[in-house]
Structure 1
């Protein structure tokens, strides 16, 4: 737990041809952010200096060769490479993708070794980052393998939290992927993360149907009747507050989501379309279920505005704040579960 020391917040730089570097540097160009954490950007001093000049920023940073050399109150740049990298904003480039992976790999390694406390990832291009070392549909699956956990994409704001049964799975494969075992596993992850990371003692969770109108009693697909409903009932029988399946088309418009601590969506767009509609620019992608804390903004590389000094930093800034908040909540949870008598009088 961090008391005298600041929380070390690692940042992977993402695709350098996108807006990731802009939102990272602009976030910490505001020196007040240094009161909350000690940022360590995994990239190179050369590239950060180039980007600082390009965006006409006044920030000051120091290059380091190991996370242990990071100084509180400073922006620290961990030199993962020393060579120059050619940036062409807005273009897909496999070479730039290699450097996105180098940054992510180094930051993840530091996270595994407890050299940083939390990780915030800037957006990658899922095509150009592919290689023998990175053969994943996104950050979530890579981190699950590296940290040996059961991951879950959990989109969060203060008022809305949506977890996904399936994330980067083709729509044609959704029904075959969703099994009773998967549903139980994902709901268990959500329950645990609500308790340990968001201080919800008795989580109340809604589950959205797989098919339109939750299948209309089997008229529009049988998955809801044969897989989803029996599994939800099984979970409820053990005393957990899990309800559904709810018809997804009216669930958000009716504001029913406000009655629950979290919502479980069956697939990516079912959850992310309403989430981004209601929370775009304020939402955060949190990888639940892992032993370490990782967050990211709720958007991609935005090549169409890359390098134009137009990127909105709000979601990335929220990702920083949420990573810090979740880390503190998790440390508090560990303390209380290890010894409930310590609940009083301990400063987090």
Structure 2
């Protein structure tokens, strides 16, 4: 990428009845955003103009169609559909779910084809996106299939990064999913991401236990002793600075997380509850391990405030900043790989 080129930020609009379009418009009402990126919203100029009028937004939207150039200095709206869409804020609607998928699929294809550089996904409703042709529990699984790689939900801020061994898995099924292969793959994905995406050469990673008190020597379940602990030992013997399993209940409250570059939780709520408690509004959901860069805000559709103009765009804006920085870091890492003498400039 030429240095003078601004990074093309693709944006899927998510659930149109939620807060996605509001936080997108609020983010780019700050004209300074266009100084370092070129946004491309995948929706339609008609739909985005409706939101602009509803929220009294002063952004200038520039509609483009297939084959048109993306215009730097403009908020580009790629017309994925032409028809009018009926918006009912706060309502779960199966038809609206189809538009969320149309936006996601077109944006992902453009990302895969290098027409855009990174992808930011506004929140979807995981229920109304389901259909005969789209049967994924969320963005992450779909993106892994289309873009390739070993995807991992990685919740990140500057001072806290939390990855998950299992994400959208029922709690009762978690132990069965956590195998030596899964642990090894996920830890390796996080390790590589910290090095390539966040410029940390020798990352320190903490892993939380599966059971309360990490099993308490088998008194509260044996998975930590039979699966997790021996696997972490093997990983550590390979040279990675990986520690644990730690008892999850006291790990964050004691500020122990500050001693590590990343924390690996065994299941969704074990990692996301403390992460969102500590960072809510500033956190970013990053899909590590893909061949392309995708981020999203750390919240959902927020139907309860949709259309009211009350949505906070902070997390979405952070998702844009994070995606841009990761894209730059990856380019720098690729450059360093070709020229090892540049390694000294990266964070130890």
Q: Same fold (TM over 0.5)?
A: yes
2:66 and 2:157 mapped to 1: Cα distance? Answer: 33
1:59 aligns with 2:59: yes
Paired residue for 1:238? Answer: 238
> Which TM-score applies when normalising by structure 2?
0.97
For residues 86-97 of structure 1, the aligned pairs below 5 Å read 86-97=86-97
- Matches of 1:21 and 1:172 in 2, distance apart? 36
After TM superposition, the structure 1 = structure 2 runs for residues 328-347 of structure 1, keeping only pairs within 5 Å, are 328-341=328-341
Aligned counterpart, 1:41: 41
Matched with 2:223 is 223
Deviation at 1:146, TM superposition (A): 0.6
Query: Superposition pairs for residues 218-297 of structure 1, below 5 Å?
Result: 218-297=218-297
Counterpart residue number, 2:129: 129
Q: Report the CA distance between 1:339 and its aligned residue.
A: 2.2
**Does the C-alpha gap of structure 1 residues 122 and 214 become closer, same or farther in structure 2, counting only changes over 3 Å?**
same
SS of corresponding position for 1:150: strand
How many residue pairs match? The answer is: 345
How far apart are residue 180 of structure 1 and its match? 0.5
CA distance in 2, matches of 1:106, 1:341: 40
Question: What is the CA–CA distance in structure 2 between the aligned matches of 1:200 and 1:344, rounded to whole Å?
Answer: 12
For structure 2, list consecutive stretches of 5 or more residues without a partner in the other structure: none
Question: Given the alignment of the two structures, is residue 307 of structure 1 paired with residue 307 of structure 2, yes or no?
Answer: yes
**How far, CA to CA, are the matches of 1:226 and 1:245 in structure 2?**
12
In 1, distance between residues paired with 2:329 and 2:66? 27
State the 4+ residue runs in structure 1 displaced beyond 3 angstroms. 341-345
Distance in 2 separating the partners of 1:338 and 1:182 = 31
1:68 shift after superposition:
5.7
Summarize deviations over 1:30-78 as a string: whole Å, max 9, x none.
Answer: 1111112000000000001100000001110110114761111110000
2 CA distance for matches of 1:162 and 1:100?
A: 27
- Report whether the alignment pairs 1:74 with 2:74: yes
Q: Partners in 2 of 1:321 and 1:237 — Cα distance?
A: 36
SS in structure 2 of the partner of residue 285 of structure 1:
strand
Aligned to 2:316: 316
Contact 1:257 1:263 in 2 (8 A): yes
Counterpart of 2:143 in structure 1 is 143
The residue aligned with 1:114 is 114
